[in-house]
Amino acid sequence: MDLKHIILQAKEKSKNIFDRADYDYLENIDAKGIAYDSRKVSSGYVFFAIKGYKDNGEKYIFDAVRNGAAAVVAPKDTVEKQKINFPDTAFIPVSNIRRAMALVSSVFYGEPEKKIKCIGVTGTNGKTTITYLIQHFLQKAGHKCGLIGTINYFSGNETRTSTLTTPDSIEIFSMLDEMVKSGIEYCVMEVSSIALELDRVYGIKFEQGIFTNLTSEHLDLHKNMENYFNAKKILFDNMPKGAIAISNKDDIYGEKIISSQNLTKILYSIVKPSNYQANNIHLGIEGIKFNVSHEGIKYEMNSKLTGRFNVYNILAAIASAVSIGIEIKDLQEYLKEFEPVNGRFNPVKLKNGAYAVIDYSHTSDSLKNAIFAAKEILTPANGRKVITIFGCGGNKDVTKRPVMGKIASEYSDFAIVTSDNPRYEEPMDIIKQILQGMGGKKNYIVDENREDAIKKGIEMSSEGDIILICGKGHETYQEVKGVKSHFDDKEIVEKYNK
DSSP sequence for 36-74: SSGGG--TTEEEE--B-SS-BGGGGHHHHHHTT-SEEEE
Residue type at position 315? L
In whole angstroms, what is the distance from residue 408 CA to residue 444 CA? 9
Which range among 15-19, 113-117, 181-185, 334-338 shows the weakest confidence by mean pLDDT? 15-19
The string of pLDDT tens digits covering residues 23-37 is 777 888 899 999 999
- Asked if residues 350 and 497 have their Cβ atoms less than 8 Å apart, the reply is yes
Q: How confident is the model at residue 53 (pLDDT cuts 50, 70, 90)?
A: low
Residue type at position 193? S
- Asked if residues 341 and 129 have their Cβ atoms less than 8 Å apart, the reply is yes
In whole angstroms, what is the distance from residue 5 CA to residue 23 CA? 9
The string of pLDDT tens digits covering residues 177-220 is 999 999 999 999 999 999 999 999 999 999 999 999 998 655 55
DSSP of 62-105, one letter per residue? HHHHHTT-SEEEEEHHHHHHHGGG-TTSEEEEES-HHHHHHHHH
**Helices 169-181 & 97-108 angle (0-180, nearest 10):** 20
Q: What is the mean pLDDT of residues 134-145?
A: 98
Q: Residue 282 pairs with which residues in a beta bridge?
A: 289
Q: What is the mean pLDDT of residues 335-344?
A: 95
In whole angstroms, what is the distance from residue 309 CA to residue 311 CA? 5
Q: What predicted TM-score, i.e. pTM, was given to this entire model?
A: 0.91
DSSP designation for 2: B
Which range among 101-110, 373-382, 392-401 shows the weakest confidence by mean pLDDT? 373-382
DSSP designation for 33: E
Checking if the pLDDT of 222 tops 80, the result is: no
3-state class percentages of the chain: helix first, strand second, coil last, to nearest 5:
35, 25, 40
Identify the pLDDT of residue 498: 84
Q: How confident is the model at residue 378 (pLDDT cuts 50, 70, 90)?
A: confident
Mean pLDDT (the chain) is 93
In whole angstroms, what is the distance from residue 247 CA to residue 319 CA? 9
Residues 6+ apart with CB under 8 A from 319: 210, 246, 266, 268, 275, 276
∠ CA 359-365-367, rounded to 5° = 30
* Of 366 and 278, the one with more pLDDT: 278
In whole angstroms, what is the distance from residue 383 CA to residue 353 CA? 14
Go through the domains of the chain in sequence order and give each one's CATH number: 3-108 (3.40.1390.10), 112-337 (3.40.1190.10), 346-495 (3.90.190.20)
Torsion angle (degrees, nearest 10) of CA 371, 376, 377, 383: 90
Residues 6+ apart with CB under 8 A from 154: 135, 146, 147, 148, 160
Quick one: how far is CA 334 from the chain centroid?
24
Identify the pLDDT of residue 245: 97
- Asked if residues 424 and 458 have their Cβ atoms less than 8 Å apart, the reply is no
Task: Using the CB atoms, write b or e for 299-326: b if 16+ within 10 Å.
Answer: eebebebbbbbbbbbbbbbbbbbbbbeb
Q: What is the mean pLDDT of residues 279-297?
A: 95
